[in-house]
């Protein structure tokens, strides 16, 4: 056992020097103080980097299928009343949603931008429940009657008991409802008067859409939309004007939930033109994104880039007035992942700092010490200078 311990003692790479042989100097104390200060500074810098999270990004092919796209919007139209402003959405799969009212909130605003009234989308009186019997002729303010659709009925059993149902029946036929003053349901609900009362006002519309994750578009336009022979039309509800001012401000537009570092290029964008009548188009490229924080929680969202184009009706170009957002889905997915510096990497850096500074300080101290001794020896023999 003693032989083994003796051999183990012979492997000591750090032989100990008797304290009687130590010679402490002023220069050595200064070098030690400076090196200790530098060590502490680099240690706390490395410690700060260890606690700081870094974000690593990767590009992958998006192989997801059957997902939906969540669109959040908040847009202000200072010159289009809420009564005639509508939202439509459609995609390349053929799915269409006209005059969307679900999860939509509208705020009437005056010329100064002050809110007059906030309400969920949808106007008019409550719908009259469908009666058991049908009567011919015009609706005579008797809620037991089945209202006429004024030629828009698909069958003899169809009833239109509200102004909105008459409009919907006409849209299904591909007709424009141009003489609303002759529609008894619209007069009873005060629809025409409501539209006239809001003349000169603006509208803030905000809400969300859930659409298929394929290329498509959604748009805001005055009037109600309908399709006829695969051609898109807008029924301006009998209030056709020479032009509609589609000036607008996009307060917020996102495709999915927010995550740290997300930049939405259309947030805060405002468009006001000298000839605001026409079609304003935004062409958006949506990039699927997954953000994973340091705790492992994943946020599935999207980023997007955008280009803009305006088609004016000033030079005889016949376009549907409104603001159109055409979006396409990128096949490339971006992933962001928050990570800490690995602990072993942190310890390696700390050891390198301590060992490196200790070694360099030893070299500097030795250089100063032996330099001083050489100068002192030359002075003693009279050869210095």
Residues 376 and 312 in one domain: no
- What is the tally of helices (H) and strands (E) in the chain? 6, 16
Residues 311 and 261 in one domain: yes
Residues 328 and 205 in one domain: yes
Sequence-ordered list of residues with C-beta below 8 angstroms from that of 290, at least 6 positions apart, any chain? 298, 299, 300, 301, 333, 334, 335, 336
pLDDT digits (tens, 9 = 90+) for 77-104: 998 888 888 898 999 988 888 778 888 9
pLDDT digits (tens, 9 = 90+) for 311-339: 876 655 556 788 999 999 999 999 999 88
Range of the domain at 370: 20-52+342-381
Q: Is 230 among the domain residues?
A: yes
At residue 228, the pLDDT reads 45
Neighbouring-strand partners of residue 90: 96, 217
pLDDT tops 50 at residue 138: no
Q: Return the CA Rg of the chain.
A: 38
Confidence of residue 25 (pLDDT cuts 50, 70, 90): confident
Residues 43 and 116 in one domain: no
Confidence of residue 234 (pLDDT cuts 50, 70, 90): low
Residues 301 and 322 in one domain: yes
Name the burial class of residue 31, with classes exposed (0-12), middle (13-18) and buried (19+) by CB atoms within 10 angstroms of its CB.
Answer: buried
Residues 309 and 354 in one domain: no
Q: Is 158 among the domain residues?
A: no
Measured in whole angstroms, the distance separating CA 217 from the mean position of its chain's CA atoms is 17
Structurally, the chain folds into a number of domains equal to 2
User: How far apart are the C-alpha atoms of 265 and 273, rounded to whole Å?
Assistant: 20
Segment 26-51 mean pLDDT: 86
Confidence of residue 218 (pLDDT cuts 50, 70, 90): very high
pLDDT digits (tens, 9 = 90+) for 158-192: 788 777 787 777 777 766 666 666 777 777 776 66
Segment 306-311 mean pLDDT: 90
């Amino acid at each position: 056992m003693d032989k083994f311990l003796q051999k183990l003692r012979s492997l000591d790479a750090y032989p100990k020097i008797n304290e009687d042989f130590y010679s402490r100097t002023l220069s050595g104390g200064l070098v030690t103080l400076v090196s200790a200060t530098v060590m502490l500074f680099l240690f706390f810098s490395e410690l700060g980097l260890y606690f700081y999270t870094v974000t690593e990004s990767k590009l992958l092919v998006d192989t997801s299928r059957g997902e939906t796209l969540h669109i959040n919007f908040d847009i202000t139209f200072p010159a289009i009343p809420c009564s005639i402003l509508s939202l439509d959405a459609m995609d390349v799969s053929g799915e269409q949603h006209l005059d969307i009212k679900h999860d939509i909130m509208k705020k009437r605003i005056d010329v100064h931008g002050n809110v007059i009234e906030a309400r969920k989308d949808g106007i008019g009186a409550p719908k009259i429940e469908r009666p058991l019997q049908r009567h011919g002729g015009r609706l005579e303010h008797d809620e037991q009657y089945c209202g006429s659709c004024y030629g828009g009925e698909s069958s003899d059993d169809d009833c239109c008991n509200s102004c909105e149902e008459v409009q919907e029946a006409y849209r299904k036929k591909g007709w424009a409802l141009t003489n609303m003053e002759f529609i008894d349901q619209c007069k009873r609900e005060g629809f025409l008067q409501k539209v006239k009362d809001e003349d000169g006002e603006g509208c803030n519309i905000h809400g969300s859409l859930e659409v298929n994750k394929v290329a498509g578009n959604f748009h805001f336009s005055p009037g109600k939309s309908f399709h006829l022979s695969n051609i898109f039309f807008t029924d301006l509800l009998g209030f056709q004007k020479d032009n509609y001012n589609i000036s607008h401000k996009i307060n917020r537009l996102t495709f999915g939930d927010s995550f740290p570092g997300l930049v939405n290029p259309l947030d805060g964008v405002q468009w006001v033109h000298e000839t605001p009548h026409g079609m304003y188009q935004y062409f958006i490229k949506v990039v699927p994104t997954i953000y994973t924080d340091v705790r492992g929680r994943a946020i599935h969202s999207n980023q997007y880039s955008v280009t803009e184009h305006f088609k004016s009706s000033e030079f005889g170009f016949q376009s549907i007035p409104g603001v159109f957002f055409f979006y396409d889905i990128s096949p490339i997915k971006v992933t962001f992942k928050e990570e800490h510096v690995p602990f072993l990497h942190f310890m390696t850096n700390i050891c390198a700092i301590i060992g490196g500074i200790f070694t360099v300080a030893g070299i500097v101290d030795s250089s100063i010490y032996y330099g001083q001794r050489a100068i002192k020896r030359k002075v003693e023999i009279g050869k210095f200078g």
